[in-house]
């Protein structure tokens, strides 16, 4: 039995795509993909240049609002995404494999017919080539490899004609946009910023420069809206004011007297916030906000004075505008704030340190209790801080008049003269009056005796006092009594002198005040000296009566002569 002949070397050899052919096809793939992807940036730049040029012109002519510019920018982004999908994403997804590259080569170089595609297919791992066909396939591969090596396949097949044509068409809009940017500076820069939604104003014949910008004003306060104009200065301008939920208001604004390029609008008694911007000629100012801050305000203030117990007075409510406070009394303050409070303090004019207020649980009611000092107080004020950290402003200041507990006032009516004479062991009538703010506690006569020395000089002698019973509850007391000098120990004699006064104390609990009358002096004389004094006094009285009589007679005579 004869065996089959062994296969030839060509038939047993494995079929592979030649390296030259593989490299050529891969170069075709890369070049084709590069040219396809290059279309995207060219189209993107040309499209954006055209769109932004048109948008800039429209914005310059019509002063597009932010919302319109936002819509246009969104459309720009959508257009860029469409270009990205069509000319980048799809090109990447549809990139060629080696078989596709072979088909592209055969379309570009018809001489290959279908040989190149056949070689790619027959050398693929999935190809099923019979043993008898292998020599023919090997010859085909060799021929294709030779033809690929001898021809400029990549350059002939993948040509940049489409890219060049697109670049040629894109030059015009890009160059026009670049020229506009260069020639229209700085306007072009502003227009580009506005395309990108920057909040910048376009230049006009009149430029508006905000001075006041955003403001925060306390409720009921005043705001002065101010802007300056540069360029063409108009004789007057406008302010557009917009409140929430209401149509905008336009207010005419004259030029300021301070500066010809300044425009100001004062607004008083502000109760709610608003936005505003200036219109000066063709210039439009930036939009600004005026916010109204609501500081806490004290309402229903009550000032209650609790006098010291010794005065016998009951507590009383005082008028805030007339605070007469008795030293030593207790002042109780109560009130309510218009806003919830975080803290508060009582400010006392003349006292450096403020006193904290007690905030009640509702965070609105407050109170304070303070002892009234004897000095330093000039005024009272309530300062508050709300939960929003807003402090009260223009706090009312309530003037304070301190009322002091004065010492009793004592006046001696009898003896009337500061010095008078008496006889030893005589009885001296004494009358006096004591008055005090809140009550008299004690009264007494205080005296001192001066002895006559043999050489005619005097020296201080005994001193003493005579207690006087004061009726309880008296604030004014008039009293007369007889002071018996015979009761003095030791006895006084001729030549002695006695000084005395009336002392009284009030009922102050801690430190009673002492009031003293003016001193009176009693000079002890003999009975004969007293008679001579009385005779002299009678003579003076008689002379005075005679003088009065003569005056009256003279007046009567003149009247008779004037009426014949």
What's the CA gap between 297 and 382, in Å, rounded?
9
Express each pLDDT in 228-242 by its tens digit: 998 888 999 999 999
Express each pLDDT in 22-47 by its tens digit: 899 899 999 999 999 999 999 999 99
Q: What are phi and psi of 168, to 5 degrees?
A: -65, -40
What's the CA gap between 200 and 185, in Å, rounded?
15
3-state secondary structure of 128: coil
Express each pLDDT in 286-306 by its tens digit: 999 999 988 999 999 999 999
- Residue 564's pLDDT band (cuts 50, 70, 90): low
Q: Evaluate whether 520 touches 499 at the Cβ level (below 8 Å).
A: yes
Q: Over 80: is that where the pLDDT of 106 sits?
A: yes
Return the higher-pLDDT residue of 128 and 294.
294
For the chain, give me the number of helices (H) and strands (E)? 11, 28
The region of weakest confidence among 141-155, 183-197, 247-261, 528-542 is 528-542
Residue 490 is given by DSSP the state S
Q: Over 60: is that where the pLDDT of 216 sits?
A: yes
Q: Evaluate whether 306 touches 352 at the Cβ level (below 8 Å).
A: no
Q: Evaluate whether 325 touches 331 at the Cβ level (below 8 Å).
A: yes
Express each pLDDT in 77-102 by its tens digit: 999 999 999 999 999 999 999 889 88
3-state secondary structure of 123: coil
Q: What is the pLDDT of residue 10?
A: 47
What's the CA gap between 177 and 188, in Å, rounded?
10
Express each pLDDT in 151-192 by its tens digit: 788 888 899 988 899 999 999 999 999 999 899 888 888 889
Q: Over 70: is that where the pLDDT of 61 sits?
A: yes
Which has the closest alpha carbon to 280: 243, 255, 305, 301?
255
What's the CA gap between 129 and 16, in Å, rounded?
12
Return the higher-pLDDT residue of 14 and 159.
159
Mean pLDDT in residue range 101-117: 86
3-state secondary structure of 553: helix
Q: Over 90: is that where the pLDDT of 476 sits?
A: yes
3-state secondary structure of 487: helix
Which has the closest alpha carbon to 391: 292, 296, 269, 273?
296
Express each pLDDT in 269-285 by its tens digit: 998 999 999 999 888 88
Q: Over 50: is that where the pLDDT of 139 sits?
A: yes
Burial of 355: CB neighbours in 10 Å, binned 0-12, 13-18, 19+: middle
Q: Over 90: is that where the pLDDT of 330 sits?
A: yes
Give percent of the chain with pLDDT exceeding 90.
49
Q: What is the pLDDT of residue 427?
A: 92
**Does pTM surpass 0.75?**
no
What is the average pLDDT value for the chain, to the nearest integer?
Answer: 88
Helix, strand, coil percent values for the chain (each to nearest 5): 35, 35, 35
- Residue 13's pLDDT band (cuts 50, 70, 90): low
Any idea what the Cα angle at residue 310 is, between residues 308 and 314, rounded to 5°?
55
Mean pLDDT in residue range 195-217: 86
What's the CA gap between 329 and 333, in Å, rounded?
13
Return the higher-pLDDT residue of 138 and 561.
138
HSE-CB at 195 with a 13 A cutoff on CA atoms is: 20
Q: What is the pLDDT of residue 1?
A: 36
Express each pLDDT in 183-203 by its tens digit: 988 888 888 999 999 988 777
Q: Over 50: is that where the pLDDT of 331 sits?
A: yes
Q: Evaluate whether 347 touches 381 at the Cβ level (below 8 Å).
A: yes
As a three-state string, the secondary structure of 323-380 is EEEECCCEEEEEEEECCCEEEEEEEEECCCCCEECEECCCCCEEEEEEECCCCCCCEE
Give percent of the chain with pLDDT exceeding 70.
97
Mean pLDDT in residue range 66-82: 94
The region of weakest confidence among 59-73, 123-137, 320-334 is 123-137
3-state secondary structure of 391: strand
- Cis bond leading into 307, ω under 30°? no
Express each pLDDT in 407-422 by its tens digit: 999 999 999 989 988 8
Q: Over 90: is that where the pLDDT of 388 sits?
A: no
Mean pLDDT in residue range 542-546: 83
Residue 486 is given by DSSP the state G
Residue 234 is given by DSSP the state -
As a three-state string, the secondary structure of 112-165 is HCCHHHHHHHHCCCCCCCCCCCHHHHHHHHHHHHHHHHHCCHHHHHCCCHHHHH
Q: What is the pLDDT of residue 563?
A: 66
């Amino acid at each position: 039995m004869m065996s089959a002949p062994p296969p030839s070397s060509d038939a047993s050899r494995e079929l592979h795509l030649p390296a030259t052919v593989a490299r050529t096809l891969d170069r075709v793939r890369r070049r084709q993909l590069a040219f396809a992807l290059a279309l995207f940036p060219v189209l993107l730049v040309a499209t954006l240049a055209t769109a932004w040029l048109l948008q800039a012109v429209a914005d310059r002519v019509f002063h597009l609002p932010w919302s319109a510019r936002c819509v246009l920018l969104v459309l720009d982004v959508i257009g860029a995404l469409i270009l990205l999908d069509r000319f980048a994403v799809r090109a990447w997804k549809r990139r060629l494999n080696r078989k596709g590259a072979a088909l592209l080569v055969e379309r570009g170089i018809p001489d290959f017919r279908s040989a190149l595609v056949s070689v790619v297919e027959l050398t693929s791992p999935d190809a099923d080539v019979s043993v008898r066909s292998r020599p023919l396939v090997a010859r085909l591969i060799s021929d294709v490899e030779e033809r690929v090596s001898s021809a400029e396949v990549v350059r002939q097949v993948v040509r940049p004609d489409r890219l060049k044509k697109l670049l040629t068409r894109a030059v015009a809009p890009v160059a026009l946009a670049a020229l506009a940017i260069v020639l229209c500076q700085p306007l072009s820069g502003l227009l580009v910023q506005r395309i990108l939604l920057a909040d910048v104003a376009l230049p006009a014949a009149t430029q508006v420069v905000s001075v006041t910008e955003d403001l925060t004003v306390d409720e009921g306060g005043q705001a002065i809206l101010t802007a300056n104009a540069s360029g063409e200065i108009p004789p007057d301008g406008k302010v557009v004011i917009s409140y929430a939920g209401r149509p905008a208001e336009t207010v005419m604004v004259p030029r300021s007297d301070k500066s010809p390029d300044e425009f100001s609008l004062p607004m008083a008694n502000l109760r709610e916030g608003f936005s505003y911007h200036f219109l000066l000629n063709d210039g439009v100012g930036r939009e600004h906000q005026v916010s109204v801050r609501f500081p806490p305000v004290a309402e229903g203030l009550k000032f209650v004075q609790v006098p010291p117990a010794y005065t016998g007075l009951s507590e009383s409510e005082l008028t805030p505008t007339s605070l007469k406070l008795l030293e030593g009394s207790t002042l109780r303050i109560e009130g309510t704030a218009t806003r919830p409070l975080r803290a508060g303090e009582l400010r006392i004019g003349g006292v450096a340190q403020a006193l904290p207020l007690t905030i009640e649980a509702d965070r609105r009611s407050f109170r304070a209790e303070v002892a009234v000092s004897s000095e330093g107080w000039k005024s009272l004020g309530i300062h508050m801080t709300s939960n929003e950290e807003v402090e009260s402003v223009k706090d009312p200041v309530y003037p304070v008049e301190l009322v002091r507990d004065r010492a009793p006032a004592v006046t001696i009516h009898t003896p009337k003269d500061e010095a008078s004479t008496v006889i030893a062991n005589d009885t001296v009538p004494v009358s006096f009056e004591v008055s005090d703010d809140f009550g008299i506690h004690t009264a007494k006569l205080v005296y001192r005796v001066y002895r006559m020395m043999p050489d005619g000089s005097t020296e201080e002698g005994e001193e003493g006092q005579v207690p006087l019973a004061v009726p309880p509850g008296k604030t004014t007391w008039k009293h007369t009594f007889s002071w018996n000098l015979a009761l003095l120990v030791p006895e006084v004699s001729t030549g002695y002198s006695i000084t005395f006064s009336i002392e009284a104390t009030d009922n102050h609990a801690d430190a009673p005040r002492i009031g003293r009358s003016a001193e009176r002096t009693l000079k002890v004389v003999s009975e004969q000296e007293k008679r001579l004094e009385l005779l002299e006094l009678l003579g003076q009285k008689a002379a005075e009566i005679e003088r009065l009589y003569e005056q009256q007679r003279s007046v009567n005579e003149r009247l008779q002569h004037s009426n014949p």
